[in-house]
Amino acid sequence: MSAAAADWPILVISLRTETDRRAAVASQLSAIGLTCQFIEAVDGRKGLGPEWDRAIDRKGAIERYGYPMSDGEFACSLSHQLVYALVLDQGLPGAIVLEDDAILTPDFAAFYEQGQFRKADFIQFFCFSARIWRGPGSQSVGRVRLHRLSENAFAAVGYSISARGAAFLRKAGQPVCARADWPADLTRINGLLTVPSIVLHPPPVAAQSTLAASRDNLAPEGFDYSAGYVKGWRRLITPKSWASFLRKRLSREITPGFPQLGE
């Protein structure tokens, strides 16, 4: 391990029972000369135990989304919160966070060995789709560039986070009333995205996340996702609408998506 990366551990969130997944991700890391520490994930597949009641806010989740979060979603968020707490409690400068179904690309090894994660408080390695500010971004490793997010991009399968970033997400997630990806606006800490992705996620048909196996959509049929937004002519006079208008025109959408089977 290079001196540039020695003080940033690789933390893998995984259920204790997922021995095959643990072996697979550990094998990937070993092949590039790296090791990891497993963080035992909170298991919400059969419901959350009473020990987590004080750590979550079910009513707050409904107020946030308009419908309940599943226990699997709460468990996933709690698991990532354990990582942020570990970074802060151990006084680490930061960490690389992976879920146990992460697929590492060759660029991941170079990114880690060169300490590229030190360039920001939060760098996301994969997303399903994202909006990034227009422009060339900054050079990272090989063909990878770092682009500033113009809004949150979902998928927490892999990212780097500094102690400052961990404190930001830790505070935003107390108590947990939001999904793991993400409880706060990452543009406030100038979150970045690797383009192209340096960590991949299996297609949903190939592997289902066990961290949030019950991430079923609890929204009622016909739920109006735009209910909380101003409609009609009033959209022309609200600061939030103007901010959204400008953000969309100054940013561009990218859709990395999933790798093809067999790649």
Confidence at residue 260, expressed as pLDDT on a 0 to 100 scale:
46
What mean pLDDT is predicted for residues 107-131? Answer: 97
Q: How do residues 22-64 score in pLDDT, each as one tens digit? A: 999 999 999 999 999 999 999 999 999 899 999 999 999 999 9
Q: What is the pTM for the complete model shown?
A: 0.88
Q: How do residues 76-102 score in pLDDT, each as one tens digit? A: 999 999 999 999 999 999 999 999 999
Under 8 Å CB-to-CB from 163, ≥6 apart: which residues?
Answer: 87, 88, 91, 92, 93, 94
Report the distance separating Cα 1 and Cα 44, nearest Å.
35
Distances (CA, A) of 168 to 172, 232, 242: 6, 35, 26
Confidence at residue 177, expressed as pLDDT on a 0 to 100 scale:
97
**Partners of 132 in the β-ladder:** 149, 252
Confidence at residue 53, expressed as pLDDT on a 0 to 100 scale:
92
Q: How do residues 124-168 score in pLDDT, each as one tens digit? A: 999 989 999 999 999 999 999 999 999 999 999 999 999 999 999
Phi, psi of 175 (to 5 degrees): -75, 165
Q: What confidence tier does 230 reach under pLDDT thresholds 50, 70, 90?
A: low
Q: What confidence tier does 221 reach under pLDDT thresholds 50, 70, 90?
A: low
Q: What confidence tier does 6 reach under pLDDT thresholds 50, 70, 90?
A: confident
Flag whether pLDDT at 262 surpasses 90.
Answer: no
Confidence at residue 215, expressed as pLDDT on a 0 to 100 scale:
45
**Residue where the block lists tokens 């009609």:** 232
Report the distance separating Cα 156 and Cα 175, nearest Å.
19
Distances (CA, A) of 9 to 6, 172, 247: 7, 23, 35
